[in-house]
Amino acid sequence: MATATKRTGSRDGIEWRTDARGRRAYRWVINSKAGKQQGDWGPSHAEAKSGRAKAQTELATGAGARPSALTLRDYWTAFIQEAKAGTATSRWREPFKPSTLRGYERGWAKVDPELGAHRLTDIRKRDIQAMLDRWAVGGIAPSTIRNALDPLRTLYRRALARDLVPVDPTKGLDVPADRRDAPMRFASREEAERLIAAVPDGDRAVWATAMYAGLRRGELRALRWGDVDLSGGLITVARSWDDSDGEQTPKTPGSQRKVPIVPALAARLRHHHRATGRGGSDLVFGRTAAQPFTPTTIRSRALAAWKRANAAPITLHQCRHTFASLMIAAGCNAKALSVVMGHASITITFDTYGKLMPGGEVEVGKLLGTYLSAAAA
């Protein structure tokens, strides 16, 4: 019995078929998680190979994304359900915090009417940029625009990693500058002491911890005496406080850290410890041993005190800037600063505080000259 002639086949992304007359046709094929793409049948293997190379280039640049029925709204709905269930995790493979997801939902409420109905693969950077431009012209605050972008960036980062889109259209956007681009408010060493001394006695320790340890507001609210090792000179930052969800782990793995207790802070904490009579699992700065302080309340008391003292007010977050500036002035290197600040990466440290760090041409020259002179001596 004669063996049947093979009439179809494929190799290296090129398929072929043979008709009844023995004529062969070729087409290119690209398989991915997003689905199968293929070219038209033609008589030339070389043309099919060339067509495949072109299609791969288009995919890499976003010009050849495969149309899909999956809309951005569909993808968001699936993501937020999985995130709330804990099966969709952050870049650090940690469950999303409820406060983060609430922020995403607020941002999505602005994005959805604009882009929700569009297919995931159809949205281009120019579409998102046009949306941002409309928002800016409409008077929406830069910080609100940035926050609204957060869920969109997360969706496309996940989609790109899962081969659902060829490029991330949220990269390289012209986003309006917010207050992080404005001059940074921080207190000098002398001003920090004046500001702390001016507030009521019961509040001095919390402002001192913000100034001299750089804890975030939520971390200050959740700090317990068991986290404070006065004899060892360390604060262990292990938790934060959210108004809706209560006590929780800090925002990123890097936020869990140990911070040195400098003498100026140790004195304030010891005085506060004696005055409150708390210890162990009691909150250090709580309005009670179990209930955290109310930020607006301590700020109101501080504002009144600073007004009487004719001192420029400062926020708890600006106290964190103050801590960073003091660390830099004391000669702390960028890596160590990143660790004690609890930043997710050293890039955040450089982006936020790089302008405060030494490194100008004159200063670098002096440092090198001093080093070389010491070596020669």
| Distance (Å, whole) CA 161 – CA 88 | 13
| Distance (Å, whole) CA 208 – CA 238 | 19
State pLDDT tens for residues 12-34. 889 888 887 888 888 888 876 55
Q: Which two tokens stand for residue 194?
A: 């004046």
Q: Which domains does the chain have, with CATH numbers?
A: 8-61 (no CATH), 72-172 (1.10.150.130), 189-356 (1.10.443.10)
pTM: 0.62
367 has pLDDT over 80: no
**Surface-to-core class of residue 60, CB atoms within 10 Å of its CB (0-12 exposed, 13-18 middle, 19+ buried):** exposed
Map tokens 């190799």 to a residue: 11
Task: Give mean pLDDT, residues 346-368.
Answer: 67
Comparing 372 with 97, the larger pLDDT belongs to: 97
What residues are paired with 124 via a beta bridge? Answer: none
Least confident stretch, 65-74, 95-104, 118-127, 362-371: 362-371
Task: Give mean pLDDT, residues 235-252.
Answer: 84
DSSP 151-207: HHHHHHHHHHHTTSSSS-TTTT--PPP-GGGSPPP---HHHHHHHHHHS-GGGHHHH
Reduced to 3 states, what is the DSSP secondary structure of residue 268?
Answer: helix
| Distance (Å, whole) CA 146 – CA 288 | 36
51 has pLDDT over 90: no
State pLDDT tens for residues 108-163. 999 999 999 999 999 999 999 999 999 999 989 898 999 999 999 999 999 988 88
| Distance (Å, whole) CA 224 – CA 239 | 9
Least confident stretch, 62-71, 164-173, 320-329: 62-71
Comparing 141 with 91, the larger pLDDT belongs to: 141
63 has pLDDT over 70: no
pLDDT of residue 156: 95
Q: Which two tokens stand for residue 234?
A: 């360390």
DSSP state of 356: G
